[in-house]
């Protein structure tokens, strides 16, 4: 299944279940909470880390749909942009020197 299709399914699930579809601030807060849960699962070596990471992706895709972004398109654009960037290691830190 393609990411764009998954994003649409996530949105439809939000509509079907009566979840938030208008409050962007709330959605960012919920996304932040899911990232925190994923971090805790990683830190405590819990078995549900994969599920928590999936929750992060689900909230991110729902937020993207709410804001009118095709997340797959944005990811592809950003991956290509990052591939063209040039970095230099300065004192153990990668510093971007060109876009």
Query: 25 in helix, strand or coil?
Result: helix
Q: What is the pTM of this model?
A: 0.89
**CA-to-CA distance for 71 and 80, rounded, in angstroms?**
14
Which residues does 96 contact at the CB level (< 8 Å), separation at least 6?
A: 85, 86, 87
Would you place residue 1 in the very low, low, confident or very high pLDDT band (cuts 50, 70, 90)? confident
At residue 78, φ and ψ (nearest 5 deg) are -70, -40
pLDDT tens string 36-77? 999 999 999 999 999 999 999 999 999 999 999 999 999 999
| Nearest CA among 12, 68, 59, 8 for reference residue 32 | 59
The pLDDT value recorded for residue 58 is: 98
Would you place residue 99 in the very low, low, confident or very high pLDDT band (cuts 50, 70, 90)? confident
Between strands 86-90 and 93-98, the pairing is antiparallel
The pLDDT value recorded for residue 44 is: 98
The pLDDT value recorded for residue 13 is: 98
Domains delineated in the chain: 3-98 (1.10.287.1080)
């Amino acid at each position: 299944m393609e990411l764009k299709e998954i994003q649409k399914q996530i949105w439809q699930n939000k509509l079907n279940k009566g979840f938030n579809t208008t409050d962007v601030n709330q959605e960012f807060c919920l996304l932040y909470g899911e990232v925190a849960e994923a971090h805790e699962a990683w830190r405590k070596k819990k078995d549900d880390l994969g599920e928590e990471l999936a929750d992060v992706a689900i909230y991110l895709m729902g937020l993207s749909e709410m804001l009118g972004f095709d997340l797959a398109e944005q990811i592809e654009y950003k991956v290509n942009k990052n591939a063209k960037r040039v970095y230099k290691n300065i004192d153990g830190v990668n510093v971007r020197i060109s876009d």
